[in-house]
Amino acid sequence: MIGILGGIAVPSVFASDPDFEIKTSKDILKFCEFFYNDYIVMGAETLAKNHPDYPNIRACGILYNHVAWKSTHPARDKVLIAEIEKYLGDSKYIKERHLRNSSTIPTWIKNDAKMWVRGGIEDVSFAYGIRAMLEDHILNPSLNNTDSSCSEGKLCIAKSNFIKYSYSNKYGQDIKETYTIDSINDNEILIKTEKISRDGKEFSSINMDNHGTIPANKKCCVIDKFIFLTPISFGDMITTDLKVIGETSYDFKGNAHQVWIAQNSEKQDTLIIDKETGLVFSDSHKETGITITWEKTELVDTNIFEKKYLTNEVAIPKWFKTITMWLGDNLISESEYLNATENLLERGILRV
C-alpha cells in the first residue's frame, strides 16, 4: 500500500481490512498472520485499539509471543490453533466476533474481564467486549433515555462522528473515503478526510457550511453532499436539481431505516437519504446511450446512529471492577452481571 505524506508517496506499513471470512480457528490464525506487520510496528495494545471491530485480534497477541509463531516445524499451525481454542473456547465454528447467536458471555470476554480486573489491560480494551455484546444484543439496555443530536434546522452530526463511503464505477474503480467531524462552530464544520484507492492512502481536510454544503472550489470527495438539513418533506427540492419523489425502507447493517428518494429531472442521479438524520445512504449516477455509464457511492460505516452509551470516550467507574471480579469468582451469575451492566449503560454511568 502507498500513503501520501506532504505530496510525497511513501509506503504504508499498515494493513487494510482482511478480505476473507473468519469462521474457524484456522481462519483466526490466518487473520493474525494478516495483522502481524501492524503488531510489530504498533504493539498489541495499540493494534487492538486501532481495530475495535475485531475483538478476536486480542488472541493474536498471545500467538505472536508463542514459541511456535516463528517456527518452521510442520506442526506449527496445529500448535497455534490449539492456543486459539484455549483462549477463545473450544469450538468447531468460531465466528468472526465469537458472539453470533450467543445468549451468554463468550469466553474471550470473560478472559478479558479477568485480565482487566488484574490490571493486565486498559479500560479501553475491556470496553471492546462490552461494545461487542451490545452489537450482538447480549446486552440490551433500554433506549428510552437515548439522547438524539438531531434538531430541526441543524445538521445531525457531532464532533468525532465519522461517515465512510465506498465508490465504484463500470470501469472497476474502487475508492473508500472516510469523513470525520473534527470541529463545529457557528459558521463552518471542519472535516478530516481519508481516501483509500489503488494509488494508496491520502489525507486531507475540507470545510463544510452548516447546511452540509462543501464549497465548489474545495470539493475533493467521492460524494458532493453527504448530509442534509432535516426535516425533509415529499416534493422538496433539496438541491437546485434534486427533488424528493418518494419514500421507502432501506436496510443498513441489519437495521431498517425510513428514507427519502430524491432524483433529478433526467432521472440520472438518485439519492437515498435517511429521514431522521438527513444522512445520504446512497448516491448513484447512470446514463444510458450507446453504452451505459454508471457510478455509485454507498455508505458502508458510520457512528451517527450509535446510541449515547457508544462514545469515543470510554468511562468505566473503578468500582465496576469489583462487580466484574465477582463474576470471575462465580459470586454472581451471568444474568446478574448483564443486568447490572445494562443498568449502568442506561444511566450513562458506563460508556464504551
pLDDT, residue 26, reads 83
Q: What is the mean pLDDT of residues 218-236?
A: 83
Please give the mean pLDDT across all residues of the chain. 79
For residue 298, report the phi and psi dihedrals to the nearest 5 degrees: -125, 140
- pLDDT value at 219 more than 50: yes
Is residue 141 very low, low, confident or very high in pLDDT (cuts 50, 70, 90)?
A: confident
- pLDDT value at 90 more than 60: no
DSSP annotation string for 252-275: ETTEEEEEEEEE-TTS-EEEEEET
Using CA atoms, how far apart are residues 232 and 237, in angstroms rounded to an integer?
9
pTM over 0.75: no
- pLDDT value at 122 more than 90: no
CA 15 remoteness from chain centre: 16
Is residue 243 very low, low, confident or very high in pLDDT (cuts 50, 70, 90)?
A: very high
- pLDDT value at 94 more than 60: no
pLDDT, residue 64, reads 85
pLDDT, residue 46, reads 74
CB 255 within 8 A of CB 238: no
Tens of pLDDT, residue by residue over 159-168, are 888 999 999 8
- CA angle 319-53-322, nearest 5°? 10
Using CA atoms, how far apart are residues 242 and 248, in angstroms rounded to an integer?
17
